[in-house]
Amino acid sequence: MGTSFRIGNNHEKLSILSVLLLPIMFSLLSVSSTGNVTQEIQSLNASIAALANHTADYPAVAVPSWLDTGSNAWVLTAATFVGLQSVPGVALYYAGLSKKKYAVNSALMVFYAFAAVLIVWMIAGYNFGFGKPTLEIDGYGILGTPLPAWPGSYEGSQTIYGPGNTPLDIPTSTYIFFQFVFAAITPILLAGGVLERMNFKAWMVFVPFWSLLVYSPVAYWLFAGGWLNQLGVVDFSGGYVIHVDAGVGTLAAALAVGPRLASERKLEAHSLPLVLAGAGLIWLGWDGFNGGDPGGATIDAAIAVLNTNIATAASAITWMLMDMAFFKKPTLVGATSGAITGLVAITPAAGYINGLYAILIGIASGSIPWLALYKLEPKLKVDDTLGVFSTHGIAGIVGGILAGVFADPNVTKYVDPALVGGLYGNWAQVGIQALGAAVVFVYDFAITFGLLKLIGLFIPLQAPPDTLQIGDYAMHGEVAYSELLATLPIAEEKEVKEDVAENPKEDKQEGK
């Protein structure tokens, strides 16, 4: 309920009005005393210009001629948006979709992956995905060079990446950070397929190696001008590099890790508010995801942001209609799933198409992944906990192929004038896009499955059944909800009481 404010008698009204008008009266008196309004305005403009050009106070080397400060500011901001998609966005979303007893584990898998990928990215991942080629075949870039990205002279230099030595008007440090948040969110999304059973120790080993062996090479092939990009495959902002990687990786990981306990295979979202909060952060964070990809504050960045939101809205509505047609009722979980498939499908096409095609992609992404989730995945008999293969893998493939259909030369002229879609006479582009999807699918599945089987020789991939029966407390010694402590087996309950007796203040702070 709002609070009303009433002014009393006329004397009070006059006093308050005088205070409000005082700054204006002072300004008028100041101008009249000089007798030169134009001079005052020019002085004010000069002060504003001085504030705007405060970079003049820095050493010249800090603001080189190649640096576009506006683009640099936008890309750093966009990168932060994408980072917020992961922590807390996906962390909240996955925690809310999980069973109550796995809320901590779900969020911690996300949080750990975000941190681990950054370290690997700096040690070798960035240059392996965006550095000078260490392997070329007939002029086609196959792999980057896995070298550290931390020399100060390198971080402060102009961004030049890939086999084509492509320059951008932002510092390398900005580009490293921007590409890191993409690298981080990919295994984070993959986690959704192995929630509620994967051994956390195995996850800790898997994430850095997967990022280096799967994500970086695929990023090199498509983002950095490697061989797939040289063949003509386009992926505006990661429909293949991120979402097909995550979705297909999920399929392989779910097979390698094995299914959940038979009694726990039904999805039980325990907190719809967490789901909504996470989905909202993911949706709006995607403006940085697709809008930051051009590397500057450009026209195609604005087009990409608009198309992103159009497709997302169309997809969310379509998914709800599919739920109503088959299940009689729309659901919040369904609406957020549809929004996410829309975000995924528009990603490879965001800067190449017009608004009408964004709606059509949204309709496709709200229906085809829905059918894959509810009709295809059950036949595969793979326990993909949150349906990541359908919502990211299938949606990414759909969007990538439709990018080849809908690429509009009136839009691509801002980013890639040579790109023309099938509807404008270049149907070969559709086949090229399908080739790219197939290559990423096969490579990702093979490396992911093989890597996990190798890790499984040393660390069990799945947590023991008795640990899974308990959940978070057995895995991490803490719970998201204190009432879960009452459900622990006697031995665990005794341990909790002993912990509380020994550390009452600490446990009170942790909410145990």
Question: What is the phi/psi pair of residue 142, to 5°?
Answer: -105, -50
Q: Residue 430's pLDDT is what?
A: 98
List beta partners, residue 135: 143
Give the rounded distance of the alpha carbon of 470 from its chain centre. Answer: 31
pLDDT tens per residue across span 5-38: 444 455 555 555 455 555 555 554 554 554 565 6
Q: Is residue 100 part of a domain?
A: yes
50, part of any domain: no
Indicate the average pLDDT of the chain. 88
Strands 140-143 and 166-171: unpaired
Alpha helices in 35-102 (DSSP H): 37-52, 69-84, 91-97
Q: Is residue 499 assigned to a domain?
A: no
One-letter amino acid at 152 equals: G
- Residue 198 in any domain: the answer is yes
Whether residue 96 lies inside any domain: the answer is yes
Q: What is the 3-state secondary structure (H, E, C) of 347-384?
A: CCCCCCCCHHHHHHHHHHHHHHHHHHHHHHHHHHCCCC
Q: Which residues contact 365 (CB under 8 A, 6 or more apart)?
A: 311, 315, 318, 338, 341, 342, 344, 345, 346, 395, 398, 399
According to the model, what pLDDT value does residue 151 have? 74
The two structure tokens encoding residue 262: 């038979």
- Evaluate whether residue 428 is within a structural domain: yes
Range of the domain at 151: 80-472
363-408 confidence digits (pLDDT tens): 999 999 999 999 999 999 899 999 999 999 999 999 999 999 999 9
Q: Is residue 481 part of a domain?
A: no
Residues sharing a CB contact under 8 Å with residue 376, sequence separation 6 or more, in sequence order: 390
d(Cα 187, Cα 418) in Å, to the nearest integer? 33
pLDDT tens, 105-159? Answer: 999 999 999 999 999 999 999 999 999 899 888 888 999 999 999 877 788 888 8
Q: Which helix (H) or strand (E) is 171 found in, with range?
A: strand 166-171
The predicted structure's pLDDT at residue 167:
85
Position 463: which residue type?
Answer: A
Q: Which residues contact 138 (CB under 8 A, 6 or more apart)?
A: none
Question: Nearest Cα to 281, choosing from 320, 332, 352, 336?
Answer: 336
What is the rounded distance in angstroms from the CA atom of residue 78 to the CA atom of residue 180? 12
454, part of any domain: yes
pLDDT digits (tens, 9 = 90+) for 397-446: 999 999 999 999 999 999 999 999 999 999 999 999 999 999 999 999 99
Which domain CATH number covers 368? 1.10.3430.10
Average pLDDT over residues 354-362: 98
Domain count, the chain: 1
For residue 268, give the amino acid letter. E
Tens of pLDDT along 217-255?
Answer: 999 999 999 999 999 999 999 999 999 999 999 999 999
